Each structure stands twice: as C-alpha cells, then as structure tokens.
Amino acid sequence: MAKGSGLPIDSDPIGFFIHKPTVLNSFEEDFNNNNKISNNSINSMDASSTIHHHERSPPHHHHHHQTLQFPVNLNYTHHKDNNSPEPSDEKNNNNNRTVIINEMDFFAENRNRDIKPSPSSYHDMIDHHKSFNEQIDIDMNVNTGLNLLTTNTSSEQSMVDDGVSNDAAAEDKKPTTELVVLHTEFQRVKSENQRLKIALDQVTNSYNALQMQLYITQTGNKSDEKVLEDGNNNNNDHDDDQNINLTNGTNINEGKVQPVVPRRFMDLGLANNGEADETSLSSSEERRSELVKNGHGGDDQMEKKEVNRALIGREDSDPDQSSQAGWVPNKLPRTTSSGSVKDSDQTEATMRKARVSVRARSEAPMIADGCQWRKYGQKMAKGNPCPRAYYRCTMAAGCPVRKQVQRCAEDRTILVTTYEGNHNHPLPPPAMAMASTTSSAARMLLSGSMSSSDGIMNSNFLARAMLPCSSSMATISASAPFPTVTLDLTQSPNPLHLQKPPQPPQFHLALQQNASSATTAAAAALLPQILGGQAIYNNQSKFSGLQMSSLGQENSLAPTTVAARLLGHHSFSSSSPPQNSLSESVNAATAAIAADPNFTAALAAAITSIISGTHSNNVSNNNNNNTNNNGNNVNV
DNA sequence: CGATTTTGACCTGCGC
DNA sequence: GCGCAGGTCAAAATCG
C-alpha cells in the first residue's frame, strides 16, 4: 500500500473483514433498548426463562436481554409463552393451586402501563421492582407466583373464584381449615414480600452509603479540587448527571454522588489512593495545559524519561508519551514524587501501566466505545497475522488515552481492544459505559495489585488466563508486561440469544493472599464497579463467578465466589450468601455494594450494546460531529 | 484546508 | 553489542 494512501477504514486494515464499515447505532439507543428488554426478564430464575423473551423479540433489534434479579424470591413458575396469561387456565392446570405467572408476560403486559421499562438507573429499578410488587398485590388475577391461594380480600377473591371456591363448596366446607392455612400462608408470603421490600430498601440505602464512602475514599479531600480543576463546571454538571446514570446505571444519591463518577472516566493508571490520584490528575492536567500550549513540548522528554525510569523501574520509555502531554506513565511517578503517598511509592512504582482489554466479537474495525480516536500507528505484532492498530483519543487535546485494536489470531471475528490511560475530558454518556467499565476494571486490578503488603507484585501471580479466543473469561491479570484486565465478551453479547450458554461470562480476580483484610475489602468493594456496580452472591456451584483466590495458594483456599454475571446469566439467590468466604470483610464490603443486581444488568446492557453496535448497521454517524467519517469513530 | 490515515523510520527495553 | 519486538513519530497522501 502506498504510503499515505489514506486508505479509509473500510479496507479494514486491522482485521480481515473487508466490508463497508458498519455504522453503529446510537449507543444511547442501544442502551435504552437493552434496559427496556432487561425489564422483561426481571426475576427470571433460570436460563430457560430468558428464552421466552428471546423468542418474542423482534429479530432485528439488539435485544441484549439481561435478566435482572431482584433480591426477592417470588417463586415464579414458567409454564407457557403466551403473551396474555390467563389466570384461570393457570389455576386449572395447577393441582397445587399455585397460581403461576410468567413474569415476562407480566412485564410485557405492563410495559405500556405504569411500569416504565427504563431502569437505566438503580432507582428506576427499585421503583420498577416496587411497582412490580404492587402489581402483585393488586393484580392478583394475573399474578401470583407467590403460591398464593386465598380468599378474603377482594383481590384474593379473584384468585379463587373460578376454580377453587367451587371445589371448596363441593367438598362441603371442608376447606375451612384449609382456607385458614392458606390464608395464613398468604399472610406469611405477604409479610415476606414486605420484608423483602424493606430489605431492598435497606440494601439501597446501604449501597448509597457505601457508594459515598467509596467516593470519599477514592477522592479523599480533593473533591473541592475537582470542582475547581474543572474550569467548566456548568458544562460538566450535565455530563455528570448523565454519567451517573449511565455509568452505574443508577441515580444514586442524585446530587450527592454526581461528582464522583464522572470525574474520572478512565483511571487505567489510577493509583489506589485517591489523593495520589487527584494529585496526579492535577499535575498531569497542568502539564497538559502547558504542553498543549507549547505544542508537543518535546524538550523535556529526556527529563521525564529519567523521572520515569527512576521512579518506575521498568516502564515503557515511550518517548512520545511525555510529549503527548499527560500520558499516563508520567502520572504515576509524579504522583509518587509528590510525596503524598510515600508508603505506596514502591507499590506504585511496581504498578505498571494498567490496561483493560476488551475482547468482543465484531466485524467492525473497532468497537463503538463512544470516544473519538485517531490512528497513529500500525504494527505487525508477533504471533498474530493481524496487524495491531494504535489509536489515541482525540476528543480533547492532549488526552492521553490510547488504545490498541487487534484481531485475535485464532478467531478473527474477535476484536481485542486494549485501553490505556486516563481521559482528561468529559465523556459523552455513551462513552461512559465503556470508560467506566474499563476504569473500574483497571482500578480493581490496581487495587488488587496494591493490596500486597510489601508492594511486590508477582508478575505471574495470576497465570495469564487469556486463553484461546473462545474463552468466556474476563480475567484480571498482572502478568507482564502490563497488568491487564481482560473483559472477555466473546461469548454472545446477548446471553438470551443463546439457548444454552455453555458457560457464563466470568470475572476472575486474584487477590494476593497477604493482602490485609482492609485492602482486600477495598478491592472487593471495587468489584461491583467492574461489574457496573454489582456482584451477586450465589452458590459457587451455580455459577463460576468472580473468584477471589489467594495469591500463590489458589488451591489451598477455597475461593470466595462472589458471583458476578456480567452478561446476564442471573440466577440471583438472595438466600445464598457465599459459603466459602475469603474474609468477612470481603463479604461485608461486597455484599453491601454488590446488592444491586441492576448494575450488572446495566453494565451488561451497556457493554453488550457497545459490542452489538458493531454488528449493526445504523445511522449513528449522522450524529457524529467529528470529522472522522471513516467509520472509525462512532459517536453513539 | 484541516483532519485523518498510512507507513517507514526511529526509539526503547529486553534477552542473549 | 546485537537482534527482536513493541510502541510511537512524522512526512506524505488522502479525504471531505
């Protein structure tokens, strides 16, 4: 190819899919769609239940059904796929007098009613759930699933009118006792439902509190700085609002947490210490400003390199990085050299550039992550016939975020996107999903890395588990050369599109065994962020979820399975706390933060939307204001 | 004409 | 010191 041919991305230089670049759907659209769909599958108890939705889904939509699990055991039974459940039939078909409801039908039926299927926020989900329960209470002729069979109230009457009461009359008042029993049972279930509602509220509150705690921990006393740093607060406020909603899928604390998430969009180089982080942020941003003013400011390259080498030991030289104004590696040494966190100097020095790798099936040249990217290089990497492309974020001058895009050698339908660096600018909501995911994953990784008491990170502490492309694992790895979190989304982005997913997506997190309980808990507390704010307890045998194993003794310590079903293979079991705990603190922190199943769904929806967006042809470029019209940059 | 892509050259770290 | 590999630069070409 002639140099400077300016070959458009249509030629798919990275992959081998010569095709017209797919114009991706608006991310928000996808996201909303996902949320809508997600509602349909609320309370689905098993994979089979999810298939019902899938079958009814319009084929052309990206219905990345996520099964949202509420911590409520409603004991639903799925028995049919009709859109309009007919209670009488159900009752007739049920010898146990268990009124059955297909909750998906229920939601399908109520979708156009007062239950709004857009739980893009946690509170929406809560409201949604409450509405659902209210519907259960009110709409008894439709519902149950509570194994209810009672009479007294008007709503209850409808349940027993057609079949049960007749039988009762025919059997000569015998049911008096039975009715009492059933009524008692009904009351019990009702109270159980109430208790669960209360529990849900408590969980919500706990989550909010922990969210705030997490924020405080991460940002320390720098929250004011954050605001001041941002010369354009008004503009960012809006973004912040959106970011909250779309990042965590919550509206948590409304105004309280708003400054939290939006500020750091990608913290791949983030130190565990919030102070350090903010320090680095400030300094790096100052540097950015200076360098932006002075062009690429290559004068101090050598000086920076020396600093890097002195402070980081083995660090990518990346001569241009310093010239790229605010490139992440510069942040760590600066952070440590600031003296704010001396104890973590060693640790941070050990921490190399954290990377988050996202593996996804996509025929598009890039996955739509909502950012604008400019290609600055392409290389043939060893062991892979597919070239690796290097992009840097162009959404703001001097944004240090870069990413590499390369197709998997073994399965070229899989696109591996590796993110690195911190955005120094607000991101559009669509970009928040991926940014927040990768940020959280990186933070998680770094937290785990720093949990070592001596700061020495075994480069092989977690054997690189990035196996063949078919791997469905999402792996956190600190193996050389860079600590990397790999989110493997190569499994169907829409688990509901799979009849029987062979294996649920997983997160493997290896925490060092000698981590203090505090740091372990901190790391555990971050787990939900990886999952968009959620991890779900469950039986280890039920899913292989996020496993927290000990360094070096992964076999000696039963892993705590903090199940996290990234892509919606939910089988939430609120009554099944982890049996094998790594530590109580882990459990406590994780339980408190991870109690919200909506996060997984929201995150999964976001990610699957991103991924699926690459499969779809749509018109997002119509909204693309950037000048890149080659299909590389997708404003979603 | 500015933004973007291409691509050979260059830099750096690492292993031998 | 040399070769290799990863990563980046920057001139030239291309695109809208």
Q: Of all nucleotides in the shown strands, which has a C1' nearest the CA of A406? A: C6
Q: Which residues contact A246 (CB under 8 A, 6 or more apart)?
A: A31, A120, A429, A430, A432, A433, A606
Q: Tell me the two tokens of residue A34.
A: 């996902």
pLDDT at A363: 79
Region label for A326, one of left (φ > 0), alpha (ψ between -120 and 50) or beta (otherwise): left
Q: Of all nucleotides in the shown strands, which has a C1' nearest the CA of A627? A: B3
**Are β-strands A484-489 and A355-361 bridged in parallel, bridged antiparallel, or unpaired?**
parallel
Report CA(A435)–C1'(B9) in Å, whole number.
Answer: 33
Q: Phi/psi of residue A88, each to 5°?
A: -65, -45
pLDDT at A261: 35
CA distances from A406 to A16, A196, A376, A616 (A): 11, 47, 14, 20
Place of tokens 């603190």: A585
Report CA(A632)–C1'(C16) in Å, whole number.
Answer: 15
Residue positions counted in chain A? 636
pLDDT at A385: 87
d(Cα A333, Cα A269) in Å, to the nearest integer? 11
d(Cα A176, Cα A166) in Å, to the nearest integer? 13
Residue nearest to nucleotide B14 (CA to C1'): A314
Report CA(A417)–C1'(B6) in Å, whole number.
Answer: 20
How wide is the angle at C-alpha A282 spanned by C-alphas A276 and A284, nearest 5°? 95
Radius of gyration of chain A (CA): 26
Q: Of all nucleotides in the shown strands, which has a C1' nearest the CA of A2? A: B6
CA distances from A427 to A152, A423, A551 (A): 56, 8, 36
Nearest to A608 by CA among A16, A1, A3, A32: A32
pLDDT at A370: 82
Strand order in the sheet with A560-562: A373-380, A387-393, A402-407, A414-420, A355-361, A484-489, A473-477, A506-511, A546-550, A560-562
Contact A9, A631 (CB under 8 A): yes
Q: Of all nucleotides in the shown strands, which has a C1' nearest the CA of A628? A: B4
Q: Is the C-beta of residue A335 closer than 7 Å to nucleic acid chain B?
A: no
Residue type (1 letter), A177: T
- HSE-CB at A139 with a 13 A cutoff on CA atoms is 21
CB atoms within 10 A of CB A116: 16
pLDDT at A74: 32
Q: Is the C-beta of residue A374 closer than 7 Å to nucleic acid chain B?
A: yes
Q: Of all nucleotides in the shown strands, which has a C1' nearest the CA of A365? A: B5
Q: What is the DSSP string of A104-160?
A: HHHHHHHTTTTS-S---SHHHHHHHHHHHHHHHHH-TTT---S-----SSHHHHHHH
Contact A365, A417 (CB under 8 A): no
Report CA(A15)–C1'(C8) in Å, whole number.
Answer: 21
Cis peptide before A559 (omega within 30 of 0): no
pLDDT at A491: 65
Q: Of all nucleotides in the shown strands, which has a C1' nearest the CA of A377? A: C8
Q: Tell me the two tokens of residue A556.
A: 């000696």
d(Cα A268, Cα A522) in Å, to the nearest integer? 17
Q: Is the C-beta of residue A633 closer than 7 Å to nucleic acid chain B?
A: yes
Q: What is the DSSP string of A488-523?
A: EE-S-S-GGGSSS-SS--EEEEEE-TT--HHHHHHH
Report CA(A314)–C1'(B12) in Å, whole number.
Answer: 11
CB atoms within 10 A of CB A170: 8
pLDDT at A354: 75
Residue nearest to nucleotide C8 (CA to C1'): A320
pLDDT at A106: 34
Report CA(A382)–C1'(C4) in Å, whole number.
Answer: 10
Q: Is the C-beta of residue A379 closer than 7 Å to nucleic acid chain B?
A: yes
Report CA(A590)–C1'(C4) in Å, whole number.
Answer: 45
- Given a cut of 50, the residues of chain A with pLDDT beneath it are 1-126, 128-169, 215-216, 219-352, 449-472, 480, 493-605, 608-636
Report CA(A378)–C1'(C3) in Å, whole number.
Answer: 21
Contact A335, A352 (CB under 8 A): no
pLDDT at A389: 92
**Are β-strands A473-477 and A506-511 bridged in parallel, bridged antiparallel, or unpaired?**
parallel
d(Cα A207, Cα A297) in Å, to the nearest integer? 45
pLDDT at A368: 80
Residue nearest to nucleotide C13 (CA to C1'): A4
User: What homologous superfamily does CATH list for A350-445+463-489?
Assistant: WRKY domain (2.20.25.80)
Report CA(A298)–C1'(C7) in Å, whole number.
Answer: 17
Residue type (1 letter), A342: K
Chain C: nucleotides below 7 Å from protein CB are 4-16
pLDDT at A286: 39
DSSP conformation class of A567: T
Q: Tell me the two tokens of residue A38.
A: 């997600």
Exposure b/e, A379-408, CB count within 10 A at least 16 = b: eeeeeeebbbbbbbbbbbebbbbbbbbbbb
Q: Is the C-beta of residue A459 closer than 7 Å to nucleic acid chain B?
A: no
Q: Is the dihedral of CA A168, A172, A174, A180 positive or negative?
A: positive
